[in-house]
Amino acid sequence: MLEDLVNGIENSRLVLVTDTADCPGRTLFLNWVKSLAERLDRLILICFERQPEFFKSWLPLGLQNRITFVDGQSITCDFELKNQDLFKVTTAAVPEFKGQTGVLIDSLSLHILFQQTPAVCSALHRLASDKRFSQVVAVLHRDVHDPHTCSLMEHVASSVISLRNVHSGKHICHVRHCRPTGKVFRTVESFTVDDSFHIRNLKPHQSASENVTLSQVTPEADPISQLSFNLSLTETEKVARSQVKLPHLKTGFDESSEVDSTLQSKIHYEADDADDFDEEDPDDDLNI
């Protein structure tokens, strides 16, 4: 799931990466910047924590030209700018929008300290629902804020990547992704970081205790295998099943399927041949 989110295979309007000082999310964020810069036409990167040089030193020169850097530190130092919300700061950064644009915020923590949390949530929601922006990605430090603030921020995000710990070079994270259809995925995944700070080996994580439990299970006779008919699904069948769009789920944000609420609805009924259609007015005897 995490790999799909980073590579844009899974669509998510607002991604929140939450971390702690022991398990920082900056490397994941860097990779996300690179992936978005490769996919989108333009990026707006608001730097609250590190200077633009930090990102420029790592990103290829060709991708740097697509990024508009906004100095977040100056926003917090300037009294007038300090009261501006993220939406105004972001839209002011780019004079005109052409093509797909992404918004990246290297840390929301400083901004939350100077603005009310609901105001930050509101600004993020406005950014995420604005059609000019394809995706918004932000980092939040869980250990700087109280749990209530963190849960508010997580509530507004469509995907939350919560970095938990680093164990022998493996970064373990909990992913909660809500598809536009409303389907929610929860996974625990791990990744490693190579010497050039690229994330590698993204895969589902199994804790050591789970591995031990699995290995200790004695190979008992599987009752399903003894059946005369097939009850289990193959991997391809499982994938096909997950892609079936159920009738009670929303169909996503496909613009062509959107219904114009200003038009009046009408019911067209085509009578069946077998219908016993009565042409007389059923209210004729009421003398209306």
Q: Which residues bind other proteins (CB under 8 A)?
A: 21, 24, 26-27, 30, 49-51, 53-54, 57-58, 73-74, 76-77, 79, 107, 109-110, 113-114, 141, 143-144, 195, 197
Residue 42 Cβ vs other proteins, minimum distance, rounded to whole Å: 23
Closest CB to other proteins among residues 1, 63: 63
Q: What is the smallest separation between the CB atom of 3 and other proteins, expressed in angstroms?
A: 21
Nearer to other proteins, 10 or 49 (CB): 49
Residue 51 or residue 187: which is nearer to other proteins going by CB? 51
- For the bound state, the minimum distance from the C-beta of residue 207 to other proteins, rounded and expressed in Å, comes to 22
User: How far apart are CB 4 and other proteins at their closest, in Å?
Assistant: 24
Report, in Å, the least distance between residue 92 CB and other proteins. Answer: 20
Buried b (16+ CB within 10 A) or exposed e, 129-145: ebeebbbbbbbbbbebb
Q: What are the CA-CA distances from residue 7 to residues 36, 37, 85, 228 (Å)?
A: 8, 11, 29, 43
Cβ nearer to other proteins, comparing 13 with 111:
111
In which order are the strands placed within the sheet that holds 133-141?
Answer: 67-71, 42-47, 101-105, 133-141, 14-19, 159-167, 170-178, 184-193, 199-204
Shortest distance in whole angstroms from residue 119 CB to other proteins: 15
Q: Quick one: 101 or 117, whose CB is closer to other proteins?
A: 117
- Give the Cα separation of 263 and 267 in Å (integer): 13
- Measured from the CB atom, is 12 or 117 closer to other proteins? 117
Separation CA 139–CA 173 (nearest Å): 14
Q: Which of 135, 44, 138, 132 is nearest to 93 (CA)?
A: 44
Nearer to other proteins, 55 or 133 (CB): 55
Tell me the closest approach of the beta carbon of residue 54 to other proteins, in angstroms: 6
